Amino acid sequence: MSAAPAERGARLPSERAPRPRRECGRRPRHERTPRLRRERGVALLTAILLVALGTMLATAMAYHTAMTARRGQGSFALDQSILIAEAGEAIAGYALRESRRNNNSKNDAPGQAWSMHYGPLPVTDGVTLEAWLEDLSDRFNLNDLVNAAGVKDPKAIQAFEKLLQNPKIGLEPKWAELIADWIDATTLVDSSDGAEDSTYLSQLPPYRAADRQITSSSELLALPGFGPDRFARIAPFVTALPRGTNINLCTASKYVLDALLPPGEYQYSLLDDQALAEQRSNAPNGCFPTVHDITQTWVGQPQGSGSFVTQISGTQSNYFRLTSVVSIGSAQFYLYSLLHREQNGAKVRVIQRSFTAD
């Protein structure tokens, strides 16, 4: 019996199905899709990293450029402010010379031309100068605690102890001996309150005593335990000037004036500032008290104790501090200049500059 005819379209067993056509060098689409996706992911990640790196480099370059420009502006502004402040020094020198030349009484007192506030004065667009002078001879000179031979002066130490103990200041008297030991030329401790290298070498970090005249009252901070709080209380009443500089009674603080009186006697610190200013404005030549007023308080006292007061009391000033404030835009620059006027008033020179008051 013969086999049934094959259905239309059916292949005979002897016929092979054709193989899928493969292009040379290429994988089938279903084989190459995962790899292509991986390659695209790596490329995208690489692109993101390159963009991030470029952004970081661009930001760093922009920041560096901005900071360089800012430093340049700051450096230029600082140089400009110093030059303007030096011009202020020249103006202050002229005022001090004219004040001495036109002052028949030869006293330096409040209300004279040199004590006037100057400015703010426009220098150029966005730049102003403001300046004022302070009489440094109205303070107690720390260098006077030691005489010309480099030995401590007990009379000066007694006066400074009284200033420290003034009820309005309220500091311990021991600091007078300590700062005197800091300045004197010897390395020996001759009092229970003194200190020399053996004390300072035990500090952290260790240092040595100056054993010479000081140039700033801030050297009080070198005394162990003195501290900023005590310095803030005594700073307005002390200075560091060449030894033998007179205290100007016409401008001296009421606390300094009382330090020149005999022990236990207080007169001027009991006055309020307005009362003292009125007495000075009403006094002849604007000077109150006079040297005679101070020396009279020592009548009947041991003569040796009052000799220091007679020696350092005066009515003239030769050392002044000029404070110059230069405003450039929103920035302010301060320069503190120590000016020395010669005794005859013919010349004023700058002997020290700093960016801090003390």
CB burial string 78-102: b at 16+ within 10 A, e below = eebbbebbeebbebbbebbbebbee
Mean pLDDT of 183-194: 87
As for how many domains the chain has, the answer is 1
The pLDDT value recorded for residue 37 is: 63
| Domain CATH code at residue 192 | 1.10.40.60
Is the pLDDT assigned to residue 283 strictly greater than 90? no
Asked whether residue 29 carries a pLDDT value surpassing 80, the answer given is: no
Taken as a whole, the chain contains a residue count of 358
Q: Look at residue 295 in the predicted model and tell me its pLDDT.
A: 85
Q: Find the mean pLDDT for residues 9-38.
A: 57
In a domain, 225, yes or no: yes
> Closest by alpha carbon to 296, among 279, 280, 313?
313
Is 101 inside a domain boundary? no
In a domain, 221, yes or no: yes
Nearest to 158 by CA among 63, 259, 61: 259
- What was the pLDDT predicted at 1? 46
The pLDDT value recorded for residue 46 is 86
pLDDT of 27 over the 80 cut: no
Kindly state whether residue 71 falls inside one of the protein's structural domains.
Answer: no
Q: Is 311 inside a domain boundary? A: yes
Tens-digit pLDDT profile for residues 208-266: 999 999 999 999 999 999 999 999 999 999 999 999 899 999 999 999 999 999 888 89
- Is 69 within the bounds of a domain? no
Quote the pLDDT of residue 16: 58
The CA-based angle 239-243-248, given to 5 degrees, is: 60
User: Is the distance from CB of 328 to CB of 79 less than 8 angstroms?
Assistant: no
The average confidence (pLDDT) of the chain is 86
| Contact assessment for residue 169 and residue 234, using Cβ atoms and an 8 Å cutoff | yes
Residue 321's nearest CA partner among 135, 97, 171 is: 135
Report the predicted TM-score, pTM, of the whole model to 2 decimal places.
0.79
Using CA atoms of 357, 275, 115, 213 in order, give the dihedral in degrees to the nearest 10. -40
- Top pLDDT among 37 and 294 is at 294
Residue 284: which pLDDT band, with cuts at 50, 70 and 90?
Answer: confident
Q: Is the pLDDT of residue 23 over 90?
A: no
C-beta separation of 139 from 252 below 8 A: yes
Domain that holds residue 293: 113-354
Q: Is 46 among the domain residues?
A: no
User: pLDDT per residue over 138-166, tens digit each?
Assistant: 999 999 999 988 899 998 999 999 999 99
Q: How far apart are CA 300 and CA 296, in angstroms?
A: 9
How many other C-beta atoms are found inside a 10 Å radius of the C-beta of residue 154? 13
The answer to whether position 217 is within a domain reads yes
**Which bin fits 315, alpha (ψ -120 to 50), beta or left (φ > 0)?**
alpha
* pLDDT at position 168 over 50: yes
pLDDT tens digits along 295-342:
888 887 765 554 577 677 888 999 999 999 999 988 899 999 999 999
